[in-house]
Amino acid sequence: MRYSAVWRSVGAMSCGSLVTYLTIRLLDGQKSSIYSSGAEGDGKRESLASGAWLHHWDLDKPQLQKVANGQESSALRHIILVRHGEYTKTSDGSHLTERGRRQAERTGQRLREMDLSWDHVVASTMPRAEETAMIILKQLNLDPLKMKRCTLLPEGTPYPGDPPSKRSPRSLELAYQRDGPRIEAAFRRYFFRASPEQEHDSYLLIVGHSNVIRYLILRALQLPPAAWTRLNLNHGSITWLTVWPSGYVTLRCLGDSGFMPITEVTHRRPLPAKADNN
């Protein structure tokens, strides 16, 4: 069957522009209904709070104009997102700890067991993400030159969270204005249905950061993006979303890290060692 390999793999898992800024501020659904139903002229409106699905969410892309004009697509787009391994901050940036490197190795082994044909591998340009991606590529026996570094994927504040963090409201607003448009642009770059020209299912691997991945998940599922603070992702965890030809998006796996020994499961940066005063 066409999707048999996909289902076997799933079963094995334990499973900045002002315009952009204003657009994603509207996504909270608290002030107005912003989604049209997708069929021109039907006059219906769908709100985020209602849970109604916006069918034509991606059809403004040039490669999808044929879909918008009635031509069918038949392929699936699988997007697998991996959080980097545990890291520590140093004078020259954030780098993986020894445990973080082991986590990346185990994640790479898990991805290899899934036996997928990777079409593209993309990583954040931050050192901890690049290091994680390189270790995974080695486990997958893929050429490091296959990986692309994306300046849209570094960590940041994607959206005003609800509940908010302990930072001051002004600090959060400034962080969101700085990072939100960039991270939203990452969503628009990587999340869309297959074009009619795509004949086979595709697999995209993205290695990035917790805040960014959590936001991308909610945007892809058309859920309130402010809820990103309510999710937790362990280091090295695997998240799998599928974009169907219809434009529907399904979450096959969220933050899977069950393939790691419990002693290696972490989700926060380790605290600095306290000085010994004895």
Q: Which helix (H) or strand (E) holds 175?
A: helix 169-190
Start-to-end CA distance of the chain, whole Å, equals 67
8 A C-beta contact, residue 106 and residue 260: yes
CA–CA distance, 229 with 165 (Å, rounded to integer): 8
Partners of 251 in beta bridges: 241
Residue 128, annotated as binding a ligand: yes
CA–CA distance, 101 with 3 (Å, rounded to integer): 33
CA–CA distance, 266 with 234 (Å, rounded to integer): 6
Residue 174: how many other CB atoms lie within 10 Å: 13
8 A C-beta contact, residue 150 and residue 123: yes
8 A C-beta contact, residue 125 and residue 84: no
User: 202: which 2 tokens?
Assistant: 């595709």
CA–CA distance, 63 with 54 (Å, rounded to integer): 19
Residue 41: how many other CB atoms lie within 10 Å: 5
Binding site residue list: 128
Binding site residue list for substrate: 128
